[in-house]
C-alpha cells in the first residue's frame, strides 16, 4: 500500500455562536486504511465530518481530496468527489426494494420506464463485489438493521465513493452483524476504499482500525497507530485524565427476593421465562439483539396486552397491565431507545424529569406546583451532574449523555424499588458511562434491585453479580458473573446449552 | 453552548418570534384603521369579537386535539347537532331552557367521546374517524330536524347568543371565560402537560406511566363539548337551529390554530396563539367587508394569509 493521502484536513477551525467547535484540527486519511475518529460526545467528531461534506462552512483551514484543494458547498458536491457518509440513522426508503434504493435517481432506463432487468443485474454486481448476501428484490422494511446498513454501504460503493465515513455503524447491530460488517470493511479495504470510522467502542477500534485520531473539546489531541497504543492510552487521550478502570469495582449486597417471574410468555416475543431478583443485586441479561431481552423487560413492565405466567412482587402475585401499573408499584423500565421511547424532545428538562410524578406535586390537588417542580428538577440536575443552562432548556438541545441522565432522573424521581436498565450506556461517552455505573452502585446500596440489559459483554460481566443469557425468546441459562467470561456467555447466546 | 455576548440580541429575536402572530394582528389593525375610518370604533370591534367567538370556542378544542397530534373534522357537524338538540328540546318538547342546554352539551360531548374512543382504543386514524363523524353527525342533525330549521325561543335562551352584560356581548364573555379555563388547563394542570407530552412523543409518555388513551379520549370529548357550546350560542344568536349550521367551520378552526403557531404534528403551541389566529381571520374579513371587497376576493385573501403565515413560521423555525 503506497502512502497516498486521499484526504487531508489541515488546521480546520469552526466557531458557532459562543463556542469553538473545532480549533485547528488536523486529520488525514490514506488509501485503503481504516482510520478511527475518537472522542467523547461534543468533542467535535460530527462537526468535523459536517465541515468535510459541506453541511457546515469552515472558518479557517484547508481540505484536500486526492491532492486537490476543495470546499464543498453541499453533500452532492462531496458525493461527486467520491465522499459518502453512512449515518447512524439510515436514509433508505422502507417501501422500495434494495435495488431501487441503491440506484435511486440513477436508474437504468428504457425510455421513460425503468429497466428492471438491468437494475437487478447491476445490484447483484455491487452486492457480489462486497460479498453481501441480500436479495435485490427485498423491501428495505423487511431487512434487519444490519442488512440495511449493508445496502447503504453498497449504495455508496455504487456511486464510486472511495472515502467512506461510518458514523457509529455498530451501535444498533448484533454481534453477528458486527462480524459481517467487519468482513465487509476488510473487502472495502481491498478495493482501496478509505474509511473514517467513528465509534465509542474501543475494542472495535483495535479490531479493524489502522490508525486513530483523537479529538477532545474541539481540539486535535493526537494521531497514533493502533498497533502502537492500548485502550488506557486512548481513554486518557479522550478524557484528558486517567481513568483507572473502565468499570468500578461493584459491591453487591443481595437481600431478600423482591421480584419473581414464573413461566412468563408473550406470543411471538417471550417463551416461558422464569427468574428471581433480589434487593441489592444487579442481574445482568445478555443475549444477541432480537433474543428477547428487551421484550422480557417490557413484558414485566406491562407493555404487552397478551401474556401468560405469573409475576410475584414482594411475595404476592401482581397483575401488571400497563406501564402505569408497574410504576405505581415501584418498577421502572429505562428504554434502550432514548429518543423514541424515553424523552419528549420538545419539552424542557424539568417537564421530562417530573412527568411520572406530576400528580404528587399538585397545589389544591389540581394545579402543578411550579416551585416544587423546579426544585425536583434542580435536585437531579445537581445530583446527576446534568450539564444544562437551566431546567427550562429543551431536552433536544442536550448531548446524548445528558439526555440519558434526564431519563434516569425521571425514573429516580418515582423512587423505584426495581429498575430495569436497557442499554443504559449506549452512545454516550466514557465519562458519562462511569457516572451511570456509579449511580447503579448507589441504587443497590439503597437496596434497590437492578436488572441490566446490555449488548456490551464486558459491561454485563463487570457490573452484575448474576447473568441470565437469552437466545431466541428463551432464557438459556444463568451464570455467576464472578466465574463467567465472554465465551461462556456467547455459547449460551448462540444457543449451545451445554457448558 | 451559550453565548454570553449574544444573549441580548438572541432574546430580543426570541421575543419577536414568540409574539409574531400578535405583531401580525397589530399590523393588520393599524393598516385597516388607516384605510377605513369606521374600523377602529367600539361598535365595530365589538362586532368583530362577537363574530369571532363561535369559531374561537371550537378552535380552543381544536388546539388541544392538534396538540396531541390528532385532528377533528367533525366539529362543524357536532356543533349543528348540539344546537338542534337543544332547540328541539325547547321548542318541540317544551323543556326547561337550562335543562335543554345541558342535554345539548351532553349530546356534543357524547359524540366527541365516541371520536376519542375510536382514536384511542380502536387505534383508528383521527382523520378518518372524525371525517366519518362529520357525515354521521350531520346526518343525525338532518334526521332530528327533518331538514328544517327549528326556531321560536324565549328571552332566556336568546340571552346566550344575543344578550349583553353591560356593553359586552354574552358570547364574547363566554369565549373569554373558556379561554382562561383552557389556558390554565394547558399551562397548569397535569392533563395539560400530558397533552403536550403525547403530541411530543406518545410512546415515551405511555412508558412514563401515563394512561395516554384516557387523556386522548378526554381531549376529544372536551372538543365535542366546546363544539356544543358554540352550537348553542349560534342557535341562540340566529334565533334558529339550522340543520346545515357550522358547515366548513372545522377548516376555519384548523386555520386559526395553525395561524396561531401550533404545530400540526403536535406537541407545541398555545391557546393564546389560537385566539390571535382566529382574530386575524376575523379582522381580515371585517376589514375587507368595510373596504367593500367582494366576498369572492375575501376567500382568496384568507387562503393567501394562511399560506403566508405558515411559510413565515417555517422560515423562522429553520433559523
Instruction: Identify the structural domains of chain B with CATH numbers, from first to last.
Output: 41-318 (1.10.3470)
- Which pLDDT does position B4 carry in this prediction? 40
Spans in chain B with pLDDT lower than 50: 1-8
The total number of structural domains in chain A stands at 2
- Which pLDDT does position A241 carry in this prediction? 62
Asked whether residue A72 falls in the same domain as residue A109, the answer is: yes
The 3-class SS string of B52-100 reads: HHHHHHHHHHHHHHHHCCCCCCCHHHHHHHHHHHHHHHHHCCCCCHHHH
Asked whether residue A166 falls in the same domain as residue A225, the answer is: yes
Asked whether residue A398 falls in the same domain as residue A277, the answer is: yes
Asked whether residue A235 falls in the same domain as residue A355, the answer is: no
Enclosing domain of residue A10: 5-242
Which H or E run contains B124? Answer: none
- Judged by phi (left if over 0) then psi (alpha if -120 to 50, else beta), residue B124 lies in beta
ipTM of the complex: 0.87
- Which pLDDT does position A172 carry in this prediction? 72
The CA radius of gyration of chain B, in Å to the nearest whole number, is 20
Chain A CB contacts of B206 below 8 Å: 322-323
Asked whether residue A206 falls in the same domain as residue A343, the answer is: no
State the residue for C-alpha cell 440513522.
A89
Let me know if residue A464 belongs to a domain: yes
- Which pLDDT does position A138 carry in this prediction? 93
pLDDT along chain A (499 residues), means of 10: 79 80 92 90 83 89 92 87 83 91 87 90 90 90 86 88 89 79 90 89 88 90 92 82 73 95 94 96 90 94 94 95 96 93 95 96 94 96 92 88 94 96 86 90 96 90 95 92 88 72
Q: Do A368 and B201 touch (CB under 8 A)?
A: no
Q: Using CB atoms, pick whichever of B3, B204, B209 lies closest to residue A342.
A: B204
Q: How far apart are CA A331 and CA A299, in angstroms?
A: 12
Q: How far apart are CA B266 and CA A212, in angstroms?
A: 43
- Residue A297: which CATH number? 3.40.50.300
Helices B126-145 & B75-91 angle (0-180, nearest 10): 20
Pairing type for strands A367-368 and A362-363 reads antiparallel
Bridge-partner residues for A220, per DSSP? Answer: A215
Q: Using CB atoms, pick whichever of A303, A328, A355 lies closest to residue B193.
A: A355
Q: Using CB atoms, pick whichever of B190, B194, B203 lies closest to residue A340.
A: B203
CA distances to A165, A168, A230, A246 from A190, rounded to whole Å, are 17, 22, 26, 34
Let me know if residue A123 belongs to a domain: yes
Chain B contacts in chain A segment 214-253 (CB below 8 A): none
Asked whether residue A269 falls in the same domain as residue A212, the answer is: no
Decide which of A242, A274, A297 is a domain's last residue.
Answer: A242
Asked whether residue A334 falls in the same domain as residue A384, the answer is: yes
The CA radius of gyration of chain A, in Å to the nearest whole number, is 24
The shortest C-alpha distance from B71 to chain A (Å) reads 20
Asked whether residue A420 falls in the same domain as residue A282, the answer is: yes
What is the DSSP code (8-state) at residue A395?
Answer: G
Let me know if residue A248 belongs to a domain: no
Decide which of A242, A274, A307 is a domain's last residue.
Answer: A242
Look up residue A161 and give its three cell numbers.
Answer: 465513493
- Which pLDDT does position A107 carry in this prediction? 85
DSSP 3-state of B1: coil
Let me know if residue A249 belongs to a domain: no
- Which pLDDT does position A430 carry in this prediction? 76
Let me know if residue A247 belongs to a domain: no
Decide which of A187, A215, A242 is a domain's last residue.
Answer: A242
Q: How far apart are CA A85 and CA A106, in angstroms?
A: 18
- Which pLDDT does position B9 carry in this prediction? 53
The shortest C-alpha distance from A320 to chain B (Å) reads 12
Q: Do A347 and B6 touch (CB under 8 A)?
A: no
Let me know if residue A68 belongs to a domain: yes
- Which pLDDT does position A216 carry in this prediction? 85
Q: Do A389 and B203 touch (CB under 8 A)?
A: no
Let me know if residue A288 belongs to a domain: yes
Asked whether residue A236 falls in the same domain as residue A374, the answer is: no
State the residue for C-alpha cell 357536532.
B78
Chain B CB contacts of A342 below 8 Å: 204, 207
DSSP 3-state of A205: helix
- Which pLDDT does position B318 carry in this prediction? 61
Q: How far apart are CA A54 and CA A84, in angstroms?
A: 12
Q: Do B209 and A333 touch (CB under 8 A)?
A: no
The shortest C-alpha distance from A116 to chain B (Å) reads 35
Let me know if residue A451 belongs to a domain: yes
Asked whether residue A213 falls in the same domain as residue A266, the answer is: no
- Which pLDDT does position A17 carry in this prediction? 67
Asked whether residue A141 falls in the same domain as residue A280, the answer is: no
Q: Going edge to edge, which strands form the sheet with A83-86? A: A68-70, A60-65, A5-16, A19-30, A219-225, A211-216, A34-38, A194-198, A163-167, A83-86
Residue B2 touches chain A, beta carbons under 8 Å: yes
Look up residue A499 and give its three cell numbers.
Answer: 457448558
**Is the CB of residue A331 less than 8 Å from the CB of residue A320?**
yes
Asked whether residue A232 falls in the same domain as residue A355, the answer is: no
Chain A CB contacts of B189 below 8 Å: 366-368
What is the DSSP code (8-state) at residue A141?
Answer: G
Pairing type for strands A449-453 and A282-287 reads parallel
DSSP 3-state of A246: coil
Q: Do B203 and A345 touch (CB under 8 A)?
A: no
The shortest C-alpha distance from A45 to chain B (Å) reads 16
Amino acid at each position: 500500500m503506497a502512502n497516498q493521502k486521499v484526504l487531508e484536513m489541515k488546521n480546520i477551525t469552526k466557531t458557532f455562536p459562543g463556542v469553538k467547535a473545532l480549533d485547528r484540527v488536523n486529520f488525514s486519511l490514506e488509501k485503503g486504511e481504516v482510520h478511527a475518529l475518537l472522542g467523547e460526545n461534543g468533542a467535535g467528531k460530527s462537526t468535523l465530518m459536517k465541515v468535510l461534506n459541506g453541511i457546515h462552512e469552515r472558518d479557517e483551514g484547508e481540505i484536500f481530496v486526492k491532492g486537490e484543494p476543495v470546499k464543498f458547498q453541499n453533500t452532492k458536491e462531496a458525493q461527486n468527489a467520491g465522499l459518502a457518509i453512512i449515518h447512524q440513522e439510515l436514509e433508505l426508503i422502507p417501501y422500495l426494494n434494495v435495488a431501487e434504493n441503491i440506484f435511486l435517481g440513477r436508474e437504468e432506463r428504457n425510455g421513460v420506464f425503468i429497466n428492471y432487468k438491468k437494475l437487478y443485474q447491476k445490484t447483484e454486481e455491487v452486492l457480489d463485489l462486497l460479498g453481501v448476501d441480500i436479495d435485490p428484490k427485498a423491501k428495505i422494511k423487511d431487512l434487519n438493521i444490519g442488512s440495511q446498513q449493508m445496502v447503504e454501504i453498497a449504495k455508496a460503493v455504487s456511486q464510486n465513493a472511495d472515502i467512506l465515513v461510518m458514523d457509529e455503524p455498530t451501535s444498533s447491530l448484533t454481534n453477528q452483524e458486527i462480524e459481517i460488517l467487519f468482513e465487509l470493511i476488510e473487502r472495502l479495504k481491498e478495493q482501496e476504499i478509505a474509511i473514517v470510522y467513528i465509534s465509542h467502542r474501543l475494542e472495535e477500534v483495535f479490531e479493524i482500525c489502522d490508525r486513530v485520531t483523537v479529538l477532545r473539546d474541539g481540539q486535535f489531541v493526537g494521531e497514533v497507530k493502533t498497533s502502537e497504543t492500548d485502550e488506557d492510552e486512548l481513554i486518557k487521550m479522550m478524557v484528558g485524565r486517567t481513568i483507572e478502570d473502565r468499570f468500578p469495582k461493584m459491591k453487591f449486597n443481595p437481600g431478600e427476593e423482591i421480584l419473581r417471574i414464573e413461566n412468563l410468555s408473550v406470543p411471538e416475543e417471550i417463551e416461558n421465562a422464569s427468574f428471581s431478583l433480589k434487593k441489592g443485586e444487579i442481574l445482568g441479561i445478555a443475549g444477541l439483539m432480537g433474543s428477547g431481552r428487551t421484550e422480557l423487560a417490557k413484558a414485566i413492565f406491562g407493555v404487552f396486552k397478551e401474556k401468560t405466567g405469573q409475576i410475584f412482587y414482594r411475595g404476592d402475585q401482581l397483575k401488571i397491565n400497563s406501564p402505569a401499573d408497574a410504576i405505581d408499584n415501584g418498577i421502572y423500565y429505562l428504554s434502550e431507545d432514548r429518543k423514541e421511547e424515553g424523552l419528549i424532545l420538545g419539552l424542557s428538562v424539568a417537564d421530562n424529569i417530573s412527568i411520572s410524578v406530576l400528580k404528587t406535586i399538585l397545589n389544591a390537588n389540581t394545579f402543578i406546583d411550579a416551585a416544587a417542580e423546579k426544585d425536583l428538577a434542580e435536585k437531579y440536575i445537581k445530583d446527576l451532574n446534568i450539564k444544562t443552562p437551566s431546567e427550562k432548556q429543551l431536552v433536544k438541545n442536550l448531548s446524548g449523555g445528558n439526555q440519558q441522565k434526564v431519563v434516569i432522573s425521571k425514573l429516580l424521581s418515582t423512587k423505584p424499588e426495581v429498575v430495569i436498565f436497557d442499554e443504559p450506556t449506549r452512545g454516550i461517552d466514557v465519562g458519562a458511562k462511569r457516572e451511570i455505573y456509579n449511580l447503579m452502585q448507589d441504587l443497590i446500596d439503597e437496596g434497590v434491585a437492578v436488572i441490566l440489559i446490555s449488548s456490551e459483554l464486558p459491561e454485563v460481566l463487570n457490573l452484575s453479580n448474576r447473568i441470565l443469557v437469552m437466545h431466541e425468546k428463551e432464557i438459556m441459562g444463568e451464570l455467576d458473573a464472578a466465574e463467567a467470561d465472554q465465551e461462556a456467555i456467547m455459547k449460551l447466546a448462540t444457543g449451545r446449552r451445554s457448558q | 453552548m451559550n453565548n454570553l455576548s449574544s444573549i441580548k440580541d438572541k432574546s430580543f429575536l426570541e421575543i419577536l418570534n414568540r409574539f409574531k402572530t400578535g405583531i401580525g394582528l397589530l399590523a393588520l389593525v393599524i393598516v385597516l384603521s388607516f384605510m377605513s375610518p369606521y374600523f377602529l370604533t367600539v361598535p365595530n370591534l365589538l362586532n368583530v369579537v362577537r363574530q369571532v367567538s363561535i369559531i374561537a370556542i371550537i378552535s380552543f378544542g381544536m388546539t388541544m386535539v392538534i396538540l396531541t397530534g390528532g385532528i377533528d373534522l367533525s366539529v362543524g357537524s357536532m356543533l349543528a347537532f348540539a344546537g338542534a338538540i337543544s332547540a328541539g328540546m325547547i321548542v318541540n318538547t317544551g323543556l326547561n331552557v337550562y335543562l335543554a342546554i345541558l342535554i345539548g352539551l351532553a349530546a356534543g360531548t357524547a359524540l366527541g367521546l365516541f371520536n376519542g374512543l375510536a382514536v384511542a382504543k380502536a387505534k383508528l386514524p383521527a382523520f378518518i374517524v372524525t371525517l366519518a363523524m362529520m357525515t354521521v353527525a350531520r346526518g343525525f342533525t338532518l334526521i332530528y330536524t327533518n331538514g328544517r330549521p327549528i326556531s321560536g325561543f324565549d328571552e332566556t335562551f336568546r340571552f346566550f347568543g344575543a344578550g349583553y352584560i353591560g356593553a359586552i356581548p354574552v358570547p364574547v364573555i363566554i369565549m373569554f371565560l373558556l379561554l382562561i379555563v383552557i389556558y390554565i388547563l394547558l399551562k397548569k394542570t397535569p392533563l395539560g402537560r400530558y397533552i403536550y407530552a403525547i403530541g411530543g412523543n406518545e410512546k415515551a409518555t405511555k412508558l412514563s406511566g401515563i394512561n395516554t388513551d384516557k387523556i386522548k379520549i378526554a381531549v376529544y370529548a372536551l372538543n365535542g363539548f366546546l363544539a356544543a357550546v358554540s352550537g348553542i350560542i349560534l342557535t341562540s344568536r340566529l334565533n334558529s337551529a339550522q340543520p346545515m349550521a357550522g358547515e366548513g367551520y372545522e377548516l376555519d378552526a384548523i386555520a386559526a390554530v395553525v395561524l396561531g403557531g401550533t404545530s400540526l404534528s403536535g406537541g407545541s403551541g398555545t391557546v393564546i396563539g389560537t385566539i390571535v389566529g382566529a382574530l386575524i381571520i376575523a379582522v381580515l374579513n371585517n376589514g375587507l367587508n368595510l373596504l367593500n371587497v367582494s366576498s369572492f376576493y375575501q376567500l382568496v385573501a384568507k387562503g393567501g394569509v394562511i399560506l403566508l403565515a405558515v411559510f413565515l413560521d417555517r422560515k423562522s423555525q429553520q433559523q
